[in-house]
Structure 1
Amino acid sequence: MNEKDLILKLRTGSVSAYKELYERWISRLYAFIYHYVKSEAVTDDIIQETFIRIWVNHESLNPDCSFKSYLFTISYHLLLKELRRQLKNPLLEEYIEYQDQISTSVDGIEDDFDLERFRMLLIQAKHKLSPRQREIFELNKEQNVSVSDIAIQLSISEQVVRNQLSAALKIIRSELKNYTLLLAIFLLNF
């Protein structure tokens, strides 16, 4: 059965359609979430909450829209919420402090949490963006201006803003791939 038919059945409350969608997407969703949280328990919690939300909202699912996008958007927001929660965890602060102590030890072990190097690399990465991408990235991620406000300010459509922001984030992530945690913190804080 194709996905559109499954969604139509799910809208009517079909448990079998729900289970089939779950089976189709669980492994990819698990890999996506686990990649960021590195915890089976947290990954399981996010997946469970994602599918609970799908069930709770099953009557409003749109069979003409991408189920994958809907599923991963829910997971992504739950993942961000979890990462924000973890950032406020004192154990994470202690770990970063511990890493900082290690990096300044005689061994000279390179520290993944080197904020000054991260800032320098972020500046270099932003130079790889087009002028428009850089402007939109800085407005949205550094000045916390909404997509709609950027569109109005620059006299362009919201979709253009989203496209430019998406392209900019792809370049930034690629350039800062060795600093994924700091980049996540940076993007969450703005």
Structure 2
Amino acid sequence: MTTFTAAEASILLFKTRKVEVIRMRELLLLIVCLTFALPTASQIRPVEKDERPTGVNVTPAPERFPAKYEGGMFGYGKREDGTIRIDDINERIVFYAKDGKEKFSLSFDDMQMIYPESRSVTSNTGNIVRNIPLPGSMLGGLIKEKWRYIIINFNDADADVRGAVSFKLSSKELLESVIHTVGKKAGMTQRGDAYYRPRQQKSDT
């Protein structure tokens, strides 16, 4: 068994505490850096404005593209990943599940409005950092990412009801191209970054 004199024990204790102080300073420096860096990099921002005229030079949407169904269609309450196809021949969009089976469709004529929506949520990285049992880990909640959705208001002619179906898309560019392409194909009128179907004026007889 190793024994230490009082002087040696004091020196060893001093060195141990010195190492602890250095580590604590490093941790505090990291927390300070995160405190000033994260809010600036990940603060919630308003919807980005595009200075170019809306609809100009927007790339046409692909015939098929991945999308996550978020809800809104009568009889289909489960959220799921799949694929949307723009069916020009039958004038509709079709949502397919992962297995390739058609789930439902929405005709161009039933569409009343189509527009984008974005939400800022805590990213997966932020959730991981937030759950680390260390001082300052709560700052992980400030690490955000933006999710983009396409919202389609429609009239269901068969059920004689109105609804709004939403899909999550992978990027801003895809969102813009889908809204522009579908809005044009459905014969709707553009207003900003959205398309709508004007109310028909009743003629006096």
Q: TM-score range by the shorter chain?
A: under 0.3
- Structure showing greater radius of gyration is 2
Q: Which has the higher contact order (CA 8 A, sep 6+)?
A: 2
Q: TM-score, normalised by structure 1?
A: 0.20
Structure richer in helix, relative to its length: 1
Structure richer in strand, relative to its length: 2
